[in-house]
Amino acid sequence: MSITVVGSVAYDSIETPAGRRERCLGGAATYFSLAASFFTDVRVIAVVGEDFGPEQEAVFAARNIDTRGIERAAGKSFFWEGSYLENLNEAKTHSTELNVFASFEPKIPDAYRDSEFLFLANIDPVLQRRVRDAMPNVKLVAGDTMNYWIQDHRPALLEVLKGLDILLINDTEARMLAGNSNLVQAARSVIALGPRTLVVKHGEYGATLFHTSNPKGRRTELRTFRAPALPLKEVIDPTGAGDSFAGGFFGYLASSAAAGELTPAAWRLAMFYGGVMGSFACERFGTERLQDLSRPEIDARFNLLREITHID
Q: How far is CA 187 from CA 128, 176, 193, 198, 231, in A?
A: 21, 11, 10, 7, 25
Residue closer to a second copy (CB basis): 154 or 217: 217
Task: Work out how close the CB of 84 gets to a second copy at its nearest, in angstroms, rounded to a whole number.
Answer: 11
Question: Cα(237)–Cα(285) distance, rounded to whole angstroms?
Answer: 5
Residue closer to a second copy (CB basis): 68 or 223: 223
User: What is the distance, to the nearest Å, from the Cα of residue 148 to the centroid of all Cα atoms in its chain?
Assistant: 17
Residue closer to a second copy (CB basis): 154 or 268: 268
Residue closer to a second copy (CB basis): 128 or 170: 170
Task: Work out how close the CB of 204 gets to a second copy at its nearest, in angstroms, rounded to a whole number.
Answer: 7
Alpha helices of the chain — where are they, by DSSP H?
Answer: 28-36, 54-61, 125-134, 147-152, 154-162, 171-178, 183-192, 241-258, 264-281, 288-291, 295-307
Task: Work out how close the CB of 185 gets to a second copy at its nearest, in angstroms, rounded to a whole number.
Answer: 7
Q: How far is CA 87 from CA 15, 19, 78, 204, 304, in A?
A: 11, 14, 24, 12, 26
**Residue 99 CB coordination number (10 Å):** 20
Task: Work out how close the CB of 252 gets to a second copy at its nearest, in angstroms, rounded to a whole number.
Answer: 12
Task: Work out how close the CB of 53 gets to a second copy at its nearest, in angstroms, rounded to a whole number.
Answer: 36
Tell me the angle at which helices 28-36 and 241-258 cross, rounded to the nearest 10 degrees.
Answer: 40
Residue closer to a second copy (CB basis): 81 or 225: 225
Residue closer to a second copy (CB basis): 188 or 289: 188
Task: Work out how close the CB of 266 gets to a second copy at its nearest, in angstroms, rounded to a whole number.
Answer: 10
Q: Which residues bind a second copy (CB under 8 A)?
A: 88, 181-185, 202, 204-206, 208, 224-229, 231-235, 265, 268-269, 272, 306, 308-312
Closest CA to 21 of 241, 251, 288: 288
